[in-house]
Chains A and B, each alone.
Chain A
Amino acid sequence: MGKELVKDPLNIIICGVGGQGNILATELLASALVEKGYFTTVGETYGASQRGGSVMSHVRISAANEYGVLIPLGQADIIVSFEPTDTLRVARDYANKSTLILTDSRPNYPLGVLIGEAVYPSMEAIETELKKLSREVMIIEATRMAVEAGNSQATNILLMGSLTALPQVPLTAEDYDKVMEQRFKGEALELNRKVFKIGYEHINR
């Protein structure tokens, strides 16, 4: 496949809201990278994430040496996000003019919006600002596709399929599959393989 590290370190942020499977998806990604022989570190912020807070994982990939677990501000090369407002929150801090952003379009309404005190911004407004902050924004209806494939819980793996399809990520679909095979079995493995493929092919058409 000839997929090599185009930048060292390559910094990827995976973010969303607690319960969206962010941590598992990141762990699989980083494990696949370690299996390929890269120095890979992951920093996770998930203190109270089970209670609806934002969750963010930093993945740092290097062929040369180990890096600290946190990405410096403005230095994310790729941002993968499960929630549009969280995408923007993270992009404001970590994106630069070369950053590629991959985001799901399904909103997860915070408490303030539910009780009518705050307004959830439009997807158009979010996209406009994301474009100003980065090089490219790819909006993927990952939750919708995962629901169609059988389970909204698999959105995380679907987005990992899309991420793996990017030329910048030094992994092949087979590399990610090996790690999924280690972790899942039976129906869960089948579903994850199915959604991974959907996400992968969505990019690699």
Chain B
Amino acid sequence: MEWMITADEPGRTYLMQGNEAIARGALEAGIRFAAAYPGSPSSEILAMLGHVAEKMDLYAEWSTNETCALEACLGASFARVRSLCIMKQNGLLVVGDALHSASLSGVKGGLVLVVADDPSAHSSTNEFDSRHQARSAGLPMLEPANMQEAKDMVKWGYELSEQLQQLVMVRTVTRINHGRSSVSLGELPKEKPDPVTIGEWDRMVAINWFKDAQIAKIDQAKSIFETSPFNEYKGPEEPDMIIVTCGTGWLYSSEAVEALGLRDRIGILKIGTTYPLPEDFIVKHLLKTKKVLVIEEVDPFLEQNIAGIIAYHPELQVELLGRYGGKAMPRNGELNPDIVRNTLARLTGTAFTGPETAVIPPEEAVALPARELTFCAGCPHRASFFLLKQTLRIQEGQGVVMGDIGCYTMGGQRAGHYLYNFLCCMGGGINAAEGMGQLTRFGFKQPVLALAGDSTFFHSCLPGLVNAKYHDSNMLFVVLDNSATAMTGFQPHPGIGQTAMGKAAEPISIKKVAEAIGCPVTVADPFDISGTTSKVYDLLKQPGLKVLILKQECATLVVRKREKPRVWVDQELCRGDDCGCGRFCSRIWGCPGNIWDYEAGKAKIDEVVCVGCGVCISLCPAGAIKMEGGGACG
């Protein structure tokens, strides 16, 4: 919450979300610049900084993509301004080239890069361990184990960054970003330095001449980390086993050791500075034992870097266990207290007695309906996917649809009639369609479509659109323009006309951009099911690259802006199961607002859920769905 992250109450403890703690840490460090592209679980950080930007005398932007964000921070850093860059794990891969280059040029004003990983991919398409990138690019990295450390590490990251003149990466995971815990506030700076003048011979240049300097910086980081308070050992002097852990693994390990009564046998070596490792500190402690278990999120990154240390130190005679090979710990997926405790119990031959639980035989257990994800009531994507599926069914030859990343990714499931055949990463759809669209020269006959949302269009489809146009691929590029980055919480993007700081900006028209590239553009309303279906049908018959913008605002935003009309079913007109429509509105259309009245045997509207979009009115063969009232949008 904005008031909490800006509270001038040093020493006061508040319950803070990890993302709030990160924002607070950056404010305590006196940042004047913040840039990010939204992505769960990191999105709240920049959203909050944008809201407090004016009050806290800083600039914050939702950049068009992660590369824009990082390089913008480099620009601010060149003028000795402290900056914060934020992204999720997929974003770090988008920014890989910039990251590996920037580590050569180094930085001037402190630059902290927060990367939020999503183990088990709760709100991502894939799980990925960002830490490999820190090692590959040669950047120092910190990993907070709780919310207090999230704040403190981000704050200290600026001192480290300026001391080393290097970017500092802070790697978090979902349970830190979206978890909450007590955080004790530090002081906010009274004054922040202004940008300096860049002199004629001032340089920030990424070129291989600086490789030696980059290596020297990482070596210096290592010696600083040897005495870092973020690393600690707790346990007996001659333990049977030492758990080496970082991030969420620390509290899970402490709880497991307590629960199994192993405090006298097991030590815990917590590492907060996970790259480069404090080698001497680790060797000193591992000499105490013969067995080491590494507990960490996602890949065996810490584990294999420790394996490296062991290989160079023959005095260490230890058996190393962890995620490698999946023998001691699961090879992938998020950690939890049960996995950690069960692993420890197995490795130490200890039994765990928890509270008594009931075992319900399967035949006595109530069958629970699955709670699958679907588009919201009134979502324009439901209409878009329905009409695209319908068009592909009526034209000759099955079409091929390339999906992309956003709310509409759910369209690959029942919610979108399993429409798309292909899914890769952000911007992947249009490029795959371009490639397949070139195959017509070899007799490939199926129509090829690519989908992208409006935020994705700006993030990563522009080079793809230029490529598809220049090479005249046979494809239809469909922009599902709902005027929102909806999946991550409605952050503004360049098409919206608003900035992260709440200021008005001139929106960039997707139609004009596509036309400027030379594409024929059709704009249609997905809520006009029959009209738009025939437009799509005609477009699929035309050769070359076509762009179709299906424009209709996100229902969640519409609900906030206008009084909703009342939609209801006239059950006198609804023919029930005699209609022949097969309960079309509730079974096939699938909007959560369209339900079946089992008592009456007729269709019904759930008026609590319905947002009054009215699309189902045009789809009911009996004309039984009615609407009245409602205010205009805006």
Residues of chain A whose beta carbon lies under 8 Å from any beta carbon of chain B: 17, 27, 30-31, 33-34, 39-48, 50-54, 65-75, 85-86, 88-89, 92, 95-98, 109-116, 118-121, 125-126, 129, 132-133, 152, 183
Contacts of A68 in B (CB 8 A): 175, 248, 251-252, 254-255, 337
Q: How far is the CA of A54 from the CA of B255 in the complex (A)?
A: 27
Asked whether A112 and B368 contact (CB < 8 A) given A44-B178, A97-B356, the answer is no
Contacts of B364 in A (CB 8 A): 129
> Is B182 an interface residue, CB under 8 A from the partner?
yes
Contact with B366, one of A66, A72, A112, A125 (Cβ below 8 angstroms): A125
Q: Are A73 and B338 in contact (CB under 8 A)?
A: yes
Min CB distance A98 to B, Å, is 6
Q: Are B179 and A42 in contact (CB under 8 A)?
A: yes
What does the 1/0 interface line of B153-166 toward A look like (CB < 8 Å)?
Answer: 00000000000000
Q: Are A132 and B360 in contact (CB under 8 A)?
A: yes
Q: Are B355 and A112 in contact (CB under 8 A)?
A: no
Contact with A51, one of B365, B375, B587, B595 (Cβ below 8 angstroms): B375
Contacts of A74 in B (CB 8 A): 354-355, 357
Q: Are A85 and B369 in contact (CB under 8 A)?
A: yes
Contacts of B608 in A (CB 8 A): 152
Q: Are A67 and B366 in contact (CB under 8 A)?
A: no
Q: Are A132 and B358 in contact (CB under 8 A)?
A: yes
Q: Are A50 and B376 in contact (CB under 8 A)?
A: yes
Asked whether A42 and B181 contact (CB < 8 A) given A70-B336, A75-B355, A111-B414, the answer is yes
> Is B146 an interface residue, CB under 8 A from the partner?
yes
For residue B371, which residue of chain A has the nearest CB?
Answer: A110
Min CB distance B624 to A, Å, is 18
Contacts of B122 in A (CB 8 A): 45, 47
Contact with B587, one of A92, A96, A116 (Cβ below 8 angstroms): A116
For residue A58, which residue of chain B has the nearest CB?
Answer: B179
> Is B373 an interface residue, CB under 8 A from the partner?
yes
- B357-401 residues with Cβ-Cβ distance < 8 A to A are 357-358, 360, 364-376
Q: How far is the CA of A111 from the CA of B590 in the complex (A)?
A: 7
> Is B123 an interface residue, CB under 8 A from the partner?
yes
A-B contact pairs, 17 of them (CB 8 A): A27-B180, A34-B15, A34-B182, A44-B178, A47-B123, A65-B254, A67-B251, A68-B252, A69-B180, A72-B259, A72-B338, A74-B357, A96-B358, A112-B369, A113-B369, A115-B590, A129-B366
- B520-545 residues with Cβ-Cβ distance < 8 A to A are none
Q: Are A97 and B357 in contact (CB under 8 A)?
A: yes
> Is B316 an interface residue, CB under 8 A from the partner?
no
Q: How far is the CA of A136 from the CA of B515 in the complex (A)?
A: 65
Contacts of B13 in A (CB 8 A): 34
Contacts of B40 in A (CB 8 A): 47
Q: Are A110 and B367 in contact (CB under 8 A)?
A: no
For the complex of A and B, 8 pairs with smallest distance between CB atoms: A47-B123, A68-B251, A118-B369, A96-B355, A47-B122, A42-B180, A69-B179, A34-B15
> Is B586 an interface residue, CB under 8 A from the partner?
yes
Q: How far is the CA of A114 from the CA of B589 in the complex (A)?
A: 11
Asked whether A89 and B251 contact (CB < 8 A) given A44-B178, A46-B178, the answer is no
Q: How far is the CA of A39 from the CA of B407 in the complex (A)?
A: 37
Q: How far is the CA of A92 from the CA of B364 in the complex (A)?
A: 13
Asked whether A121 and B367 contact (CB < 8 A) given A53-B373, A111-B372, the answer is yes
Q: Are A43 and B179 in contact (CB under 8 A)?
A: yes
For residue B148, which residue of chain A has the nearest CB?
Answer: A66
> Is B410 an interface residue, CB under 8 A from the partner?
yes
> Is B470 an interface residue, CB under 8 A from the partner?
no
Contacts of A92 in B (CB 8 A): 360, 365
Contacts of A33 in B (CB 8 A): 15
Asked whether A69 and B366 contact (CB < 8 A) given A110-B371, A114-B586, the answer is no
Q: Are A51 and B410 in contact (CB under 8 A)?
A: yes
Min CB distance A52 to B, Å, is 5
Contacts of B259 in A (CB 8 A): 72
Q: Are A40 and B587 in contact (CB under 8 A)?
A: no
Which of B360, B370, B371, B410: most chain A Cβ within 10 A?
B371
Asked whether A70 and B175 contact (CB < 8 A) given A88-B366, A97-B358, the answer is yes
Asked whether A30 and B255 contact (CB < 8 A) given A92-B360, A113-B369, A116-B587, the answer is no
> Is B415 an interface residue, CB under 8 A from the partner?
yes
Q: Are B592 and A85 in contact (CB under 8 A)?
A: no
Asked whether A126 and B366 contact (CB < 8 A) given A51-B373, A75-B355, the answer is yes
> Is B171 an interface residue, CB under 8 A from the partner?
no
Min CB distance B538 to A, Å, is 32
Q: How far is the CA of A34 from the CA of B180 in the complex (A)?
A: 11
Q: How far is the CA of A188 from the CA of B168 in the complex (A)?
A: 43
Q: Are B407 and A51 in contact (CB under 8 A)?
A: yes
Contacts of B180 in A (CB 8 A): 27, 30, 40-42, 44, 69
Which of B252, B369, B374, B487: most chain A Cβ within 10 A?
B369
Min CB distance B254 to A, Å, is 8
